[in-house]
Amino acid sequence: MTTTSRIASRFKGKIQDDYLGLIMKFPLTSIRSEAELAAAQEVLDQLLTEERHSKGVLLYLDALSDLVATYEDNHHQVPPASDADMLLHLMEANGVNQARLHRDTKIPKSTISEILSGKKPFSRQVIVTLATYFGVNKSVLAHNL
């Protein structure tokens, strides 16, 4: 069985009816403007408010989400978070305050305060320590190096 026939076999019966019905209402084409983006997001929002989705609807949602993501990646790039924002997020997400972070990691209190106030960027050693402590990949913290 070829890849094409495997993909086509996913679209039979009710799946095909649901999927094609949605395509007839809002075709899956490249998004080329802010107006088209807004329309696509409206369709996504409307579909996501439904409690249950058929396989056809889920396939359509996946495809439309990919088109929205592609447009947003090309037209609405989000700059990486600052070191201060990243550390604050990790601390809040893990219920850790500055004193506990200092106790647990042995990072000097002054270094933690300077990072949080935006006066000091992460050093390589602080990145390694924080990545280990919070259980995240070092690359998450190393965007400014």
pLDDT in tens, 2-13: 775 566 566 666
Give the separation between CA 131 and CA 102, rounded to whole angstroms: 14
The whole-chain average pLDDT of the chain stands at: 90
Report pLDDT digits (tens) over 6-58: 665 666 667 778 888 999 999 999 999 999 999 999 999 999 998 888 888 99
Given pLDDT bands bounded at 50, 70 and 90, which one contains residue 77?
Answer: confident
To the question of pTM greater than 0.85 for the whole model, the response is no
Domain with CATH 1.10.260.40 in the chain: 83-141
Chain-centroid distance of CA 96 in Å reads 23
Q: What is the pLDDT of residues 89-117, one digit of tens each?
A: 999 999 999 999 999 999 999 999 999 99
Overall fold of domain 83-141? 434 Repressor (Amino-terminal Domain) (1.10.260)
Q: How far apart are CA 56 and CA 42, in angstroms?
A: 18
Q: How far apart are CA 126 and CA 101, in angstroms?
A: 12
